[in-house]
Amino acid sequence: MKKFLVLLLAVSMVAPVTEAQTVLPKDAPKLKLSDPLPGNLFVELAKAVNPAVVNISTTALPKNMPGRRDPMLDMLEQLYGFRMQQPQQQQRPQQMGLGTGFIIREDGLIITNNHVIAGADVINVQLSEKSKDVYEATLIGSDERTDIALIKITPKAGEKLPYAVLGSSKDVEVGEWVAAFGNPFGHGHSMTKGIVSSKGRDITEINKIPLIQTDASINPGNSGGPLVNTKGQVIGVNSAIDARAQGIGFAIPIDEVKSILPILETKGRIARGYIGAALGDLDPDAAEYLGLGDVRGAVITNMDPKGPAFKSGMKTYDIVTEFNGKTIRNSLDLMDAVADSPIGKPAKAKVIRNNKEMSLSVSVAERAEDKRIVKAQAKTYEGQKAPFNLGFSVMDPTPELRTEWGLPSDMKQPVVIETERSSAASRGGLRVGDVVLDVNKKPVDNTKDVLKHLKKGDNTLRIARNTRIQIINITAN
């Protein structure tokens, strides 16, 4: 009997396939393939795009901080007849980092990431890794939430700068070949290739814009560089990587970038809305405790008593589920909805209070820090231009200038407020913020003295820079 059972088992294991069992298909999917990629595709892409890719380095200048005064400065002041500032622990300019950008117009307009230039006092641009020419760039506009910034360099006389052509990200397909350009870890004009891995990656912690995912290698230093298609058109701006894995990089779609470029160039920033509320998330346990089921939203945890939220009638622990027509599932949703709302106009908000839904009208204000940025960017000083095409301007210090630049309150000597790029003054090492003590061995007390003592040919200036006295030689053209 035991032998018979064993035999049945063995037979059942080798039983033939029945019609009821699934037969897997063997035919490959039908593909609509275009012409094969030419062997020199990426060679040609490198030749076409690399000239427009630039290396960006940023520097933060030392800030004046209060501290104990060094008694040795008293002796130096008597020697030089000039009140000197207290030296700080870090007086040298601080190198902040390296990044990438790409020129989009012949006049030197450059796209990069906001995080590449954020906090920088000086932005330097090199057109190629080995180039000895360094252009000092001007910040035109920036936006933290989209991580896009515009900077500009001034071409030399007769110079035509190469530029990249902006394409469209609307029709980008998953699996499409792409190339990423940049300066990873300072290695200039590096190029990597890959494909579009996914579209519309919604990573709100990184960017409010859904991103393009690619497996083209993106590393620190690539930020701000172009992601291009096989036609050599820019379809994205390299922005971030997933540090947990290899081959997961993200780029900001170029269509989104193009939509904000005019605003950044004309206004310098994207105005963001503000309601004056601190936010939290409604987690599942709290929702269940309140009997709200699967309702989600942003919880008001605190408010500015002078802010729009408080004035609208919102209360602490209100749960915002909709704002300006957008569904709110968490605090990030509400932050984006408020930021994108028209400033100065009422926005309808749906809130849950004591398990009851109600509607409120909130007049969205402009975020205060944006106003301060605008004021700082718009502030300029008019001085007297040096003669003989020396390329710098000076002015007598005003109380406002002393306060903003951290100058001693009793200082009267003129201050350099502008140096022209590639000018005699710039080549001689004169910088904005230098205090002029004498010109050609003649003491100066004001701007008129500086202009009077300058001459054609060689000029020697004694200047004060932070706590150092330096000699600058400038030769008029």
3-class DSSP state of 184:
helix
Write the burial class of residue 328 (CB in 10 Å: 0-12 exposed, 13-18 middle, 19+ buried): buried
* Residue 189 appears among annotated catalytic residues: no
For 388, other C-beta atoms within 10 Å of its C-beta total 15
Write the burial class of residue 275 (CB in 10 Å: 0-12 exposed, 13-18 middle, 19+ buried): buried
Per the residue annotation, which of 223, 239, 312, 341 is the catalytic one?
Answer: 223
Per the residue annotation, which of 143, 147, 318, 336 is the catalytic one?
Answer: 147
Q: Where are the alpha helices (DSSP H) in 268-307?
A: 284-289
3-class DSSP state of 394:
strand
Residues 6+ apart with CB under 8 A from 472: 428, 429, 430, 434, 460, 461, 462, 463
* Residue 333 appears among annotated catalytic residues: no
List phi, psi (to 5°) of 57: -125, 140
* 418 vs 473: CA distance, rounded Å: 17
The distance from CA 380 to its chain's CA centroid, rounded to whole angstroms, is 23
Nearest CA among 415, 187, 368 for reference residue 273: 368
* Residue 34 appears among annotated catalytic residues: no
* 396 vs 415: CA distance, rounded Å: 6
* Cα angle 88-92-98, degrees, rounded to a multiple of 5: 135
The first and second tokens of residue 449, run together, are: 């003295």
Are 280 and 301 in contact, with CB atoms under 8 Å apart?
Answer: yes
Residues 6+ apart with CB under 8 A from 420: 391, 392, 426
Looking up tokens 């069992």 gives 21
Residues labelled catalytic = 115, 147, 223
